[in-house]
Structure 1
Amino acid sequence: MAQDWPTKPIRFIVPFSAGGANDLMARAAAEGASKELGQPIIVENKPGAGGNVGSAYVAKSSPDGYTFLISAAGVITNSMIKKNNPYKDSDLIPVVMIGLSPSVVVVAADSPYNNLREFVDASKKSSGFNFATAGTGSTPHFVAEMLNTQYGAKLIPVPYKSGSESASAVMGRHVEGTSEASIVALPHIRGGDKFKPLATTWTKRLDVYPQLPTAVEQGFTDLQIAHWAGVHAPAGVSPAIMDKLADAVDKAMKAPTVTDRLKNLGIEPVGGTRTKFEEFVTAERKRLGTVVKAAGMTEN
């Protein structure tokens, strides 16, 4: 079966609304991998419950190699946060990393804050700032809780269905700020009339926007996190099929036409092997697990 696979279209399930980093990286991977595999890859959005609706859907799907999840940080931390998670960690198997979009802390363009230090200090002096997230356990949620637990900020996480909705909340002045993926934030930053960037939470400055300092440079040495997207399979999918898909995504992420386009959008293509992605997921679950405990990030 693995030798003949795929013989029909494959589905990538995005557990967030269209327009966010997870969705945009999924579409780039689908486009490149479908060329390698010779079959269409259809991207379907199933948002809700911090990624749980789409994740549970894939976890319970037939392990025939035609339905995969586009995973993110929340997918691997939901089991720590939600008391009644609809799937177990073992129900979803890491296949391959797609890429990562460095996170950017942003406020409205007319906000009085010009860097992350000013924003955090001002939150401490107020009753707290509302901070948009893409749901419980999403990357922006972790950014907020890292700033709260490690640096004394007073940020109140406000969940939305996707990064694009969070971005709209900032522009509409419904919240004071958010941490958004560079691919979503940069178009609004470059225009200059919608977002003001305060810091990138990645390990280095953005190649496409080098004037923005990192959080580390501003004294937040432990605030290092990005929006990442990978592929997970429902338990039971043939290892040979997962290897074949991993190889196709890896090749797609190394194709110059894809890498140039993604880097211009602020995305770092990664790809790699199943083993590398498994190691990443294990390490990230352990690292973020400490934040979950420190912040008491639990919900029913």
Structure 2
Amino acid sequence: MPPIFAHHRRRILTAALGALAAPVTARGSDYPSRPLTLIVPFGPGGGNDVTARTLGQFLEKVLGQPIVVQNRPGAGGEVGINAVADARPDGYTFGILNTPGLVTIPIERQPRWSLDSFAFVAGLVEDPGTIAVHPDSGITTVAQLVAAARREDGFTIAAQGRGSTSFLSVRMLEQVAGVRFEPVIYPSLPQCVLALGQKEVRGAAANLGEGQVMAEGRPWRLVGVMAETRSPLAPEVPTFREQGCDVTIGSLRGFVGPRGVPEEISARLGSAIATIFADPEFLALARRTQQPLRLLDQTAYARHLLDADRTFRALWAARPWL
């Protein structure tokens, strides 16, 4: 492990471990005393927004203060991430931030923040990557998808922007399977769904939960899920790993604040989120809104992000995606 990366990893994990071990002291006993702002770096209606509003309504009950969701879209999420990084670390401004952007933007360019700029409170939802084909294609498995790409020059797959989960999932599949696809970039998931339905492309990459919502009633056959285990959202769909193709990638949404948030406040919020994740009403709502929950505490969340940072840096070094 390079010395700079090792130092970077130690700093983030040390901060997370300190926050996890910190008791809720008198300083945080009256927290919160006013509304909290929860920044979403994308527009209304997307996965991050749904998570923010779902969690927010339950967090209000536990904390006794309103949660104000603020959409700050732009630059592939960078505008909203900037807003979280630049916020006062007083425990009243957080964001629902997601991978891969939180990790890949600093690899692609030099924003004014890095992973060191944040306090990671909890991982919340992990929506795994998938690839869908048209039901008329005759393709039902990952092996058949890869074989078709080998036979056909320029096998097209719709994706949402370079550097997105969908685009990087295709790039990772290429690397593992030793094939090449032709990504066709669309600005939004609904356009990817429409393109596949109209057979403008041979396949489409999307996160599982969002894809199921957008593709309901449209031609959309999943060949596999890019997760370690099958998803409860589609238990009948095997993973890529089960099918002999070790590709795991997804969009992990987490509760993140600016660096310097008092440790007792991070612990208070982590405890509140854990309480909510045990609430049957919350769990039922998450299922209805296609949110595959994955609760990670501060330490596990920081480790996940640092592992993702290492994976995507290696992918970038092998073949930059911009």
TM-score, L = length of structure 2 = 0.80
Q: Secondary structure at the match of 2:56?
A: helix
User: Are the aligned partners of 1:132 and 1:166 in contact in 2 as well (CA < 8 Å)?
Assistant: yes
**Aligned twin of 1:93:** 119
Tell me how far apart the structure 1 counterparts of residues 220 and 194 of structure 2 sit (CA, whole Å).
Answer: 10
Tell me how far apart the structure 1 counterparts of residues 111 and 249 of structure 2 sit (CA, whole Å).
Answer: 24
Report the RMSD for the aligned CA atoms in angstroms.
2.6
Q: Say which is worse superposed, 104-113 or 81-90, in terms of deviation.
A: 104-113
Q: Secondary structure at the match of 1:102?
A: strand
Matched positions, count: 296
Once the two structures are TM-superposed, the CA of residue 275 in structure 1 deviates from its matched residue by: 2.0
Which residue of the other structure, out of 17, 42, 66, is the alignment partner of 2:68?
Answer: 42
**Aligned twin of 1:58:** 84
User: Are the aligned partners of 1:55 and 1:75 in contact in 2 as well (CA < 8 Å)?
Assistant: no
* Residues 143-162 of structure 1: pairs in structure 2 closer than 5 A: 143-160=169-186
Letter paired with 2:220: F
Q: Say which is worse superposed, 124-133 or 99-108, in terms of deviation.
A: 124-133
Q: Secondary structure at the match of 1:4?
A: coil
Q: Say which is worse superposed, 120-129 or 162-171, in terms of deviation.
A: 162-171
Change (3 A) 1:196 1:189: farther
User: Are the aligned partners of 1:189 and 1:196 in contact in 2 as well (CA < 8 Å)?
Assistant: no
Change (3 A) 1:188 1:296: closer
Matched, 1:268 2:292: yes
Tell me how far apart the structure 2 counterparts of residues 184 and 13 of structure 1 sit (CA, whole Å).
Answer: 20
User: Are the aligned partners of 1:79 and 1:89 in contact in 2 as well (CA < 8 Å)?
Assistant: no
Change (3 A) 1:231 1:162: farther
User: Are the aligned partners of 2:28 and 2:265 in contact in 1 as well (CA < 8 Å)?
Assistant: yes
**Aligned twin of 1:33:** 59
**Aligned twin of 1:295:** 319
Tell me how far apart the structure 2 counterparts of residues 65 and 165 of structure 1 sit (CA, whole Å).
Answer: 38
Once the two structures are TM-superposed, the CA of residue 226 in structure 1 deviates from its matched residue by: 2.5
**Aligned twin of 1:183:** 209
User: Are the aligned partners of 2:34 and 2:65 in contact in 1 as well (CA < 8 Å)?
Assistant: yes
User: Are the aligned partners of 2:190 and 2:214 in contact in 1 as well (CA < 8 Å)?
Assistant: no
Q: Say which is worse superposed, 260-269 or 134-143, in terms of deviation.
A: 260-269
Tell me how far apart the structure 2 counterparts of residues 253 and 246 of structure 1 sit (CA, whole Å).
Answer: 11
Matched, 1:239 2:239: no
User: Are the aligned partners of 2:117 and 2:258 in contact in 1 as well (CA < 8 Å)?
Assistant: yes
**Aligned twin of 1:76:** 102
**Aligned twin of 1:225:** 249
**Aligned twin of 1:277:** 301
Change (3 A) 1:105 1:209: same
User: Are the aligned partners of 2:224 and 2:240 in contact in 1 as well (CA < 8 Å)?
Assistant: yes
* Residues 64-213 of structure 1: pairs in structure 2 closer than 5 A: 64-160=90-186, 163=189, 166-171=192-197, 173-187=199-213, 191=217, 193-213=218-238
Once the two structures are TM-superposed, the CA of residue 190 in structure 1 deviates from its matched residue by: 5.8
Tell me how far apart the structure 1 counterparts of residues 319 and 238 of structure 2 sit (CA, whole Å).
Answer: 26
Tell me how far apart the structure 2 counterparts of residues 176 and 46 of structure 1 sit (CA, whole Å).
Answer: 33
Tell me how far apart the structure 2 counterparts of residues 248 and 160 of structure 1 sit (CA, whole Å).
Answer: 38
Q: Secondary structure at the match of 1:217?
A: coil
Tell me how far apart the structure 2 counterparts of residues 125 and 20 of structure 1 sit (CA, whole Å).
Answer: 36
Larger Rg: 2
Letter paired with 1:144: V
Tell me how far apart the structure 2 counterparts of residues 87 and 225 of structure 1 sit (CA, whole Å).
Answer: 23
User: Are the aligned partners of 2:123 and 2:295 in contact in 1 as well (CA < 8 Å)?
Assistant: yes
Once the two structures are TM-superposed, the CA of residue 89 in structure 1 deviates from its matched residue by: 2.3
Tell me how far apart the structure 1 counterparts of residues 225 and 294 of structure 2 sit (CA, whole Å).
Answer: 19
User: Are the aligned partners of 2:233 and 2:292 in contact in 1 as well (CA < 8 Å)?
Assistant: no
Letter paired with 1:155: F
**Aligned twin of 1:215:** 240
Change (3 A) 1:280 1:16: same
**Aligned twin of 2:18:** none
Once the two structures are TM-superposed, the CA of residue 95 in structure 1 deviates from its matched residue by: 1.3
Tell me how far apart the structure 2 counterparts of residues 280 and 158 of structure 1 sit (CA, whole Å).
Answer: 29
Residue identity (%):
28
